[in-house]
Every structure is written in C-alpha cells, then in structure tokens.
Amino acid sequence: MDAKNRNKLLQYGRELLELELHEAQKLPNRLGDDFVKACELILAIKGKVIVSGIGKSGHIGKKIAASLASTGTPSFFMHPSEALHGDLGMVTANDIVILISYSGRAKEFNLILPLLKEMKVPVIAITGGINSPLASAADSVLDISVEKEACPMGLAPTSSSTNTLLMGDALAIALMRIKEFKEEDFARSHPAGSLGAKLLNHVKDVMRTGTIVPRINHDATVFDAMLELSRTGLGLVAVCDLSDSIIGVFTDGDLRRLLLNNGTLQDSIIQVMTKPGYRLPEEWKAIEALKSFNDHNITAAPVVNNEGKLVGALNIHDLHQAGIY
C-alpha cells in the first residue's frame, strides 16, 4: 500500500474516534433523575434484570446483561423475536426489563410493551428517540442520542452504539458501587479467572496431601530427614510426634548448615531441627499464604489443621500452578 492510502487509513480511524469521543462527552451531563430512577427500580426488584434489543442494539444488550450479572445484579439477555415466540415466559412480575432501541420504534417492542405493562413489569428504555413510543411507555428513559454517527453515510450505528455501551456500563457500575460489591463477590462470578483463584482458593484447596507430604517422626535422624527431603523434593520436612502434631521443621538449609558445622547424618533430628518451625493454617486463603511466604522469605511450609496436626504441605510453585501470583 502506498503512503497516500496509509495516511488515509490513519485519518479515517482518527476521525471516527474523535467523532465518537465527541458524542460520548455529552453523556455525563444527561444523567439525572431518570438515571437515578432506573437504578432505584433495579435495586427494588426481587427478580432479575432482562435486557432486550435487536440488531446492533442486541449485541450491545448482551454485553450490558453480562456486565450487570458479573457485578452483582442478576441479569440475562432476551432476544425480542424469541420473546414473541415463547421466551416472554421468562419474564415475571418480580423482574424489570431494559429495552434498547436507538430510534425507539423497533416493531417487536410495539408488541412486547403492552404485555409488560399488563404484567406491571417496570421498563427502562435506552434510546436516542426521547419522543418515541418506547420512551413514552418506559418508566425511565436513558438518553443516548447523537448528533452524528461516525459512519460517513450516517447509516451504520457507531457513535450511538458506543453511547449505548457506555450508558450500560454506567448503570452496571453505579449499581455495583451503591451495593458495595467487593472483590470477593466479583470472584464468585468469575471462579475460573485469576481473581477467583486468588480470592476463593484456600490453602487446603491447593496443598499437597497424602504420601507426598514430607514427614518424619521425632525419633528420626538427620539421615532419615535427608532421605525424606530427597523423596519429596519440597525443601523441608515436618517433624511430628506420635499424634502427628508438628514439633519442628528441618529444611535443605538446615542440612547444609549442619554439615558445614561438622554435624553428622546420625545426629538426632530433635537436636538440629528448627523449633517450632513455620506452618500454614489450612483455612487461610491461598493469597494469604503467598503473602506470608514473601513476608518470611520462604518458599514452602507444612500445613496444619485447627489442632496443630499435619494435614499437608505447600510451596510457592503449587500456588503459581493454581494461578496465584
């Protein structure tokens, strides 16, 4: 491609962004009583928020429904055409419906609105047609009108689609903040993400258990501890009494220091172990364990239950493999 056309592409892209940003900058001043009323209506319902729109409005509507659902406001998307062929049965008197149409004259809504009114279901309109049938029938109207679409023919929804998306985000986040929705709440709807791994997993969920937990009895020798260190490769061994309570910890570092100080492999582990030794509670969150590792400059620790008995072991690599950084 020659330089002239390359410059044209950059120009076209920049013009679109400038036009959309110009239209979007008008939205904050439009938020007023209707925005507050929309939030109050949603906060008051006992059911779900149902978002509906067709065409580009439908695609944006799916995103708005997803944003609401993931930030503490139960919501789902309903296609207008499917609503007219059975899906309207999803709507109950406990719900609220957000209808999205830039013109406010979508034919499907002309059939849906009377049914919603009959059910006494509140309606929030996101529209640029503030004098449209949709706006007239709605309990709250969120104005996303634009003076000019960024499409040079004024046909493809561009500035108006951006405004719709922004208005939906404003609604979702305003509700999220007024509910004091926290990271832990967000993680519950995103359990597979990195945030979910950090906030939902506990030490007991990611620790090593069974025969791969390094353990020796209190009457063992350093040689026994060295064999256990080699077998498990965790870098430490928990020293336990007959009831499985930890009385100390012996690490790779302890072994090196012992040998440098002319100790022998036949020495009693009781004499050379670290007392009482660091250990992690199994009920701690995994992210707390990671912070503790960093604070104490260690990479592994045995895990104990509420009675102080050995139940597992954990190292920093186990945390990383679980997506906790």
- CATH topology (fold) of 3-181: Rossmann fold (3.40.50)
Prior bond to 276 cis, omega within 30? yes
Stated as kind and residue range, the H or E segment containing 109 is helix 107-118
Angle between helices 159-178 and 33-44 in degrees, nearest 10: 50
Half-sphere exposure (Cβ direction) of 228: Cα atoms closer than 13 Å: 23
Residue labelled with tokens 């960024």: 150
Given a cut of 70, the residues of the chain with pLDDT beneath it are 183-199
Q: Average pLDDT, whole number, for the chain?
A: 92
Q: What is the pLDDT of residues 253-312, one digit of tens each?
A: 889 999 898 889 999 999 999 888 899 999 999 889 999 999 999 999 999 999 999 999
- Distances in Å between the Cα of 163 and the Cα atoms of 134, 152, 172, 258 are 18, 18, 14, 69
Cβ atoms of residues 183 and 195 within 8 Å: yes
Q: Quick one: CATH architecture of 203-321?
A: Roll (3.10)
- Distances in Å between the Cα of 29 and the Cα atoms of 24, 32, 116 are 10, 8, 30
- Distances in Å between the Cα of 82 and the Cα atoms of 52, 54, 108, 114, 236 are 10, 11, 10, 17, 61
The pLDDT, as a whole number, for residue 189 is 64
The pLDDT, as a whole number, for residue 73 is 93
pTM value is: 0.71
**Rounded distance between C-alpha atoms, residue 59 and residue 192, angstroms:** 24
The pLDDT, as a whole number, for residue 187 is 60
Sequence ranges of the domains in the chain: 3-181, 203-321
